[in-house]
Structure 1
Amino acid sequence: MQHILREKLWTYIVDHNPELMLSLQEEVSVTAYLTEKVNGIMPLLENMVAEQAPPYLIEEACLKELTAELKPSKFLYLREVVEQEFPEQYEALRDCGTLTYEIVNLIGECSELFAEFGFRENGENTSLRYAVIAQVDGYLR
């Protein structure tokens, strides 16, 4: 089960937090990170196994705990903003294979805005969105 959880956590990171993926790969600490995170939820895993919970429920609960601090995804938020507000640039970046790289760069460019306006999973912050659109516009020009 631990192996499965490490694989699923890595897949989640690749899909939702590629900036973390790149950072972990640069530091050559992917395995250590995944192992540390899975070891951190071992009490939950062991309790659910002891309670004879079905494997799919164990996996779901463990993944929810493992990914909690990775949410919300700034990457997905910015990708959506670029796709909706700058469709031509989005398509061009996607077609040339640099979309992920540029969105990761935009996370850094918008980090002060995320801190200033607050970035939460629930609810759309219109002020943040307009500020991000302006920042992305300046970045893409």
Structure 2
Amino acid sequence: MHQQLKESLWAYIVHNNPELMFNLQEEYSVTRYLEDKVSSVMPKVLQLLEQDKPGHVILELCMEELTSDLKPSKYHYIKKVLKQEFELFYERFKEEGILTYEAINLIEHCEPVFKELCFCRDNEDNGLIWAGVTSATAEYLRQFHSQS
């Protein structure tokens, strides 16, 4: 179960939080991060095993706990902003194979907005966050366009 949780968590991060994936790889701390996170839910795994819960239920419950601080995904939010508000750039980045790279750059560029407006599950649909991220994205894309 320990290994399965590590693999599932890594797959989740790769798909939903590639900025974290790159940071962990850059710092050579992938293994430590995954070990620490999964170790934190092992008491819950043991408790659920004692309750005779099926493996898929244990995996689902533990993954929810392991990923709670990774939600909502800034990566998916940025991609949604790009696709809806800057479709030409979105398609260009996608065609050039740099969409993930540029989305990660945009996460960093928009981080002050995410922090100031407390981006989280409870307010990810907040119009102020959308407007702030859209504005910061437009600023970033103006710089990108002027360099192209």
User: TM class by shorter-chain length?
Assistant: over 0.9
Q: Percent identity, please.
A: 44
Question: Runs ≥4 in structure 1, deviation > 4 angstroms?
Answer: none
1:12 aligns with 2:12: yes
Deviating more after overlay: 117-126 vs 96-105: 117-126
Q: CA deviation at 1:105?
A: 0.8
- After superposition, residues 31-110 of structure 1 pair within 5 angstroms as 31-110=31-110
Secondary structure of the corresponding residue to residue 41 of structure 1: helix
Q: What one-letter code is carried by the residue in structure 2 that aligns with 1:140?
A: L
> Could you state the TM-score of these two structures normalised by the residue count of structure 1?
0.96
Structure 1 regions of 5+ residues with no counterpart?
none
- The residue number in structure 1 matching 2:24 is 24
Q: CA deviation at 1:122?
A: 3.1
1:128 aligns with 2:129: yes
State the distance in 1 between where 2:116 and 2:63 align.
29
Q: What one-letter code is carried by the residue in structure 1 that aligns with 2:134?
A: I
Q: How many residues align structurally?
A: 141
Q: Structure 1, residues 85-137: CA drift from partner, whole Å, max 9, x if none?
A: 11110011011111111111111111111111221213411111111111101
State the distance in 2 between where 1:107 and 1:41 align.
28
Structure 2 regions of 5+ residues with no counterpart?
143-148
State the distance in 2 between where 1:105 and 1:84 align.
18
Please give the root-mean-square deviation of Cα atoms over the aligned residues, in Å: 0.9
